[in-house]
Structure formats: C-alpha cells, structure tokens
Amino acid sequence: MSAEQSNLSIQDEISAAILQVLRDAHSQLNCDIPTSLTLERPKNRDHGDYATSIALALSKPSGIAPRKIAEIIVAGLEARKDIAALEIAGPGFVNITLDKSSQGGVIANILAAGKTFGHGNKLNGIAINLEFISANPTGPLHLGHTRWAAVGDALGRVLSAAGAKVAREFYINDRGVQMDKFGASLQSAALGQPRPEDGYHGAYIDDLAKEVVQANPEVLKLSGEEQTFAFRDIGYKLQLAQQQNVLDKFGTHFDVWFSEKSLYDNNFFAHCQEVLRSKGHVFVDGGAIWLRTTDFGDDKDRVMVKSDGSMAYFASDSAYYISKRERGFEICIYMLGADHHGYTGRLKALAACNGDDPEYSVEILIGQMVKIMEGGEEVKLSKRAGTIITLEELVEKVGVDAARYTLIRYPVDTPMVMDVDVLRSRTNENPVYYVQYAHARICAVLRNATDLGIKYGADLIHPELLVHERERELIGALGEFPRVVAGAAELREPHRVARYVEELAGVYHRFYADCRVLPLGDETPSELHSARATLCSATAQVISNGLELLGVSAPEKM
C-alpha cells in the first residue's frame, strides 16, 4: 500500500503531467523526451513549492528557446486544480505553487501509511546481499568496525524500505593463520607462558583464556598442537558470541553469520573452482592455481590455491561470491574499510570471471577512517583490546543512539572525527538530541491536546486552515520524505535520511515557535487547533519513521 501512496504523491503526479505535456508537444519539440523528471524544491520560497528546469535542458536538443518550452508546459498544466500558480522565471524555470488544500493530501497519506510512510518500490524485488563488518573472531570489535555496524545496518533498513529483498551478512573470517595465532595466544595465556611475538596481545586474551579453561577444564590435559586447536575453537566461539552480543546491544542485526570455513565443507570450494574453470579464467603457474583477473582490468592475477596446496585468502573471496550468486542475490554490496580499497579491482574482476556484469552485481563501498576525540585529544588506547578503542567502549562513553546517529550522518567516503564531549552534550551541537527533542516535544503537545479534549486525526486535517508560512513549510518538508528514502536507497547513502530528519526537526521547531498549537488560557478550541495537532502527529510519525531507518530511538519524553 505504501508503494501506491508514494506513487500518488502530488509532486509525482505533477511531474508525470509535465512529461505528458512534453510528449503531447513532441511534434513541435522534435527531440527525445526524458522518461522521468524530478521536481526540485526551490530554496527560495518566492520560487514556489516546486520548480523544474526541464525547459532549459530541452532547449538545446529541440532548438527552441527555453522560455517558449516553458510556455508550453505552463499552458498544459493550467487546467489543474491542484496548482494555484504557475510562473516562468529567469531563463526558463517553471515555478509551481500548489493549491493550499491539495497539500493536505500529504498529511492524509502519512496518517494512513503510519510506520510504512516513506517506504517505496524503487528497488522492488531486487535481491541484495549486504555484507558488512566481517571481522576476525579473534578479538573485540573496534572503531574500524563501528562505522559499518551503524551505516551498514541503516543501509539495510533503507534498502528494505525501498522494496529490496535484503540479506545482511557478517562474514566470519574463521580460517587461516590468524585463527591459529589466536589459539596459540590463548594457550600461552592460560599456561602462563609468554605470548607468541606475532600473536594477540590485548588484555582480553587473558580473560578469554580463563573463560575457555573454566568452561572446558579438560583442555589443560591436552598438549601441543591439539591443545592449540582446542583453545582456538573454543575461544573462537566465545569471542564470536561476545561480538554478537555487542552488536545486538548496538541494534545491528544480521540475517546470516557466514563462516569462511564453511566454504570448504562438502567440496563447495572445488565446485566454485570448477565453475570458474569452466568459464575459462583459471590457470596453473608455478604449481599454484590462479584466477586470471587481469582479463577484466585487475592489476595482477590472483592466486587461489598456493603452490603448497594451501588456500589463499582470495580462494575464500571467490567461493563466497559464488555462494552469494548461487543463493540468488543479483547485487552484492561489500562494505570495506579504507585499507581494503585495493580489493575493488579483484572483486569486480572476479564477478566478470563468473560471467556477471561487475558494474551491476558488485558494489563496493569504502568507509574512511574514524577517529575519536575526548578532552581535545585523540583517544587511541583501549583498556580491553590493548591498542584500538572498541565498539563497546564507544557505547559506554556516549550511548547507542548518539554513537549510531553520529556515525550515520556523514557520507562514508570521508574520514570522520567523533567528539565524545559533543556527543554527551544536550544542545544544538548534538544533532541526535536536536531531532529526538523535536519528537519528544511533539509528543508532549499531543499529550496536552488529549488532556484538553482537542481531537486530531485524518478527518480533522483542514488543509485550507493551514496557510501560515511555517505550516506550509512543514507540510512541504513532510512530503519530501519518500523521495529522500528512495534516493538514499538508490545511492546507498543512508546519511541522507539523517540530514533530512535534522532539517525536518528544524522546520518543526520553527513552526512551533510561530504557530501556537493548543488553545491559550480559556480560548475556545477550534478546527485550527485540531488541524495543527494533526499536523503535529504527522510530523512525529515521519521523524519516528526516519529515526527508525537509522536504528535510533524516538523518545516520547526527554
């Protein structure tokens, strides 16, 4: 139902109408007419509620002056009742001012759709595999993972809201020498021996080693390699559970915890190798088995099976990709840290080797570094992990909502600094509170409305009464939400939702300052009070829906 609603939004209707006018004038224009058109929302209110520059864009291909084309558009729209004014401005912009009563439709849509307002069908039915975090289960999750824990989760929510079928996956790197080092580190910690030089040195290793022994005292009876492996396998499960627990508290949930090791069960890797071989890109050189990724633009070919018969990391990468495709995902999104951006070439080439269009089936998002400041200095040391601050410690410092919101509100391709002191503050400089405060404020107004017997709801919108500049601004902002969500999903940029919600909160605060919602003193309740309260409830709904997409709570009281 939400899909139909967003299709029926007033701006979509008008842009469709403009395209129809242009198509009708095809013989005159004699050029290609675009298939879609997005109305802009002008910054300057003198330019109407919506504007389009399509006349300027079509001027060149048609050879007709832009103002002339604008006239055609205006003539074609003039009969519409939902448009109050049409104006041709500057070189050929068409400015559209909506009829006041037609704006009420937005409020009705919001109230009818409730939690699903903003959902759409832009990515309807597309099966997307969203892989993020993907850490070694050999220690606590740290800051580098934290950005993805927040952004990846939000992106998953946004993609789902746009209609995609999303599977969020955490790839557990539970194979290879890191795991063995981890086992050896636990073993030596438990036995009170010095840690291996290239092992893990964080303080958490001691605790974990104790836990392992406590849960399985018999490991102490083993010896040598057998004991190392026992520590590794038991410690791995405990550490993974700890990661899962922390993520759960952080509000980040996965559909699939995918074990790298499992790629080698039941000859799956052999099957993948055969798939790639059958497509002609596997070769043997120097006793190693390679994938010829240079066929598709990679810098160098990649080893899958080393000359000693052991598996290179890329073997897992390739098998994992094939697993995703065989499980029916058409788009595989990888969210990687900046230090892994060199993977782009090989992952795209891998897809091409599998016969896929890498531009479509593989998307790689690179997240730049996160730094954390406290007291004007960079925080580097973690008590637990020894070197790098952990996700858990960040949450202890600033709380889940502030941490998530701050991580999400910036585009991922720029490095960011989190200032703990700001995140603990409760003022304008802390956007999460700014937005949450707007929501709590509305809830307070609505509670008071109920106490005063002021009714509000879909049958009390009275759009003809909501003519104050601030009211029109607010209604206009509310109507943008579905487009913002669709854009965030399409561009894989959940931060757009955060920025929108901040904007909306600001518009609401200004409305609140200028438009009294509830009766003053012994003033008689009127339809305007109900209409404004209804507008408030629609705003609360949209703020709440926006925060939901970010995994941030929308408190009713603060």
The helix (H) or strand (E) run that includes residue 282 is: strand 282-285
- Considering only the stretches 12-20, 192-200, 350-358, 430-438, report the one whose residues sit in contact with RNA under the rule CB under 7 A: 430-438
Closest distance of CB 526 from RNA, Å: 14
Stretch binding RNA (CB under 7 A), from 147-155, 156-164, 286-294, 455-463: 286-294
Tell me whether residue 35 or residue 266 sits nearer to RNA (CB atom).
35
Spatial neighbors of 193 by CB under 8 A, at least 6 apart, are 187
Answer yes or no whether residue 47 interacts with RNA by CB under 7 A: yes
Question: Which residue bears the tokens 């990661």?
Answer: 243
Query: Which two structure tokens, joined as six digits, stand for 202?
Result: 């964080």
Q: Nearest distance from residue 447's CB to RNA, in Å?
A: 7
520 binds RNA (CB under 7 A): yes
Q: Which of 428, 457, 464, 527 binds RNA (CB under 7 A)?
A: 428
- Asked if residue 460 binds RNA (CB under 7 A), the reply is no
Backbone angles phi, psi at 425, to 5 degrees: -80, 155
Considering only residues 101 to 140 of the shown chain, the ones binding RNA according to CB under 7 A are 136
Q: Return the structure tokens found at 475.
A: 């209604």
Q: Which stretch binds RNA (CB under 7 A): 201-209, 347-355, 387-395, 492-500?
A: 492-500
70 close to 93: Cβ distance less than 8 angstroms: yes
Provide the 8-state DSSP code for 161. Answer: H
Rounded CA separation 299/293 (Å): 8
Of the candidates 67, 384, 492, 509, which one interacts with RNA according to CB under 7 A?
A: 509
Closest approach of RNA to the CB of residue 344, in Å: 7
Q: Does 42 bind RNA (CB under 7 A)?
A: yes
Output 218 or 308, the one with its CB closest to RNA.
308
Contacting range for RNA; rule: CB under 7 A; set: 247-255, 305-313, 383-391, 461-469: 305-313
d(C-alpha 25, C-alpha 34), whole Å: 13
CA gap 292, 276 in Å, rounded: 10
The single residue among 245, 310, 450, 526 that binds RNA, judged by CB under 7 A, is 310
Nearest residue (CB) to RNA, 87 versus 330: 87
Structure tokens at 104: 């009420």
Q: What are phi and psi of 429, to 5 degrees?
A: -75, -5
CB of 314 to RNA, least distance (A): 7
CA-nearest of 251, 257, 252, 210 to 231 is 210
Torsion of CA 284, 285, 286, 287, to 10 degrees: 0
In angstroms and rounded to an integer, the radius of gyration of the C-alpha atoms of the chain is 28
DSSP strand pairing (50-52 vs 93-98): antiparallel
**Which string of x and - marks every residue 528-557 that binds RNA (by CB under 7 A)?**
----------------------------xx
Residue 512 is a binding residue for RNA (CB under 7 A): yes
Phi then psi for residue 291, to 5 deg, are -110, 130
> How far apart are CB 220 and RNA at their closest, in Å?
27
Decide: is 44 part of the binding site for RNA (CB under 7 A): yes
Q: Which residues touch 178 (CB under 8 Å, ≥6 apart)?
A: 136, 138
C-alpha–C-alpha distance, residues 486 and 506, integer Å:
22
- In whole angstroms, how close is the CB of 215 to RNA at the nearest point? 25
Q: How far is CA 208 from CA 26, 212, 389, in A?
A: 73, 6, 18
Is residue 256 involved in binding RNA (CB under 7 A)? no
DSSP E strand stretches across 375-453: 377-378, 416-419
Binding mask 312-331 for RNA (x = CB under 7 A): xx------------------
Using CA atoms, how far apart are residues 326 and 329, in angstroms rounded to an integer? 7
Q: Which of the stretches 139-147, 187-195, 214-222, 299-307 binds RNA when contact is defined by CB under 7 A?
A: 299-307
The DSSP bridge pattern shows strands 331-337 and 362-367 to be: parallel
57-76: contacts with RNA (CB under 7 A): 57, 59-60
Mask 338-367, x = binds RNA (CB under 7 A)?
A: xxxxx-x---------------------x-
- State how far the Cα of 330 lies from the Cα of 397, in Å rounded to an integer: 40
Nearer to RNA, 284 or 381 (CB): 284
Q: Which of 31, 126, 288, 458 binds RNA (CB under 7 A)?
A: 288
Among 108, 416, 420, 528, binds RNA (CB under 7 A): 416
Site for RNA in 146-205 (CB under 7 A): 173, 175-178
Stretch that binds RNA, among 106-114, 206-214, 232-240, 408-416 (CB under 7 A): 408-416
Q: Count other Cβ atoms within 10 Å, centred on residue 514.
A: 11
User: Minimum Å distance from CB 327 to RNA?
Assistant: 23
- Binder among 13, 21, 31, 40 for RNA (CB under 7 A): 40
Q: Which two tokens stand for residue 554?
A: 């929308």
Residues 116, 294, 368, 553: which binds RNA (CB under 7 A)? 368
Nearer to RNA, 517 or 552 (CB): 517
**One residue of 433, 501, 543, 550 binding RNA per CB under 7 A:** 433
Contact 162, 486 (CB under 8 A): yes
d(CA 28, CA 30): 6
Q: Which is nearer to RNA, 246 or 304 (CB)?
A: 304
Sole binder of RNA in the list 164, 351, 495, 544 (CB under 7 A) = 495
Q: How far is CA 126 from CA 136, 163, 468, in A?
A: 30, 8, 42
Judge contact between 446 and 456, C-beta under 8 A: yes
Min CB(29)–RNA separation in Å: 15
Q: Which is nearer to RNA, 229 or 313 (by Cβ)?
A: 313
Asked if 93 touches RNA (CB under 7 A), the answer is yes
Minimum Å distance from CB 190 to RNA?
23
What is the spatial distance between Cα 92 and Cα 63, in angstroms, rounded to a whole number? 14
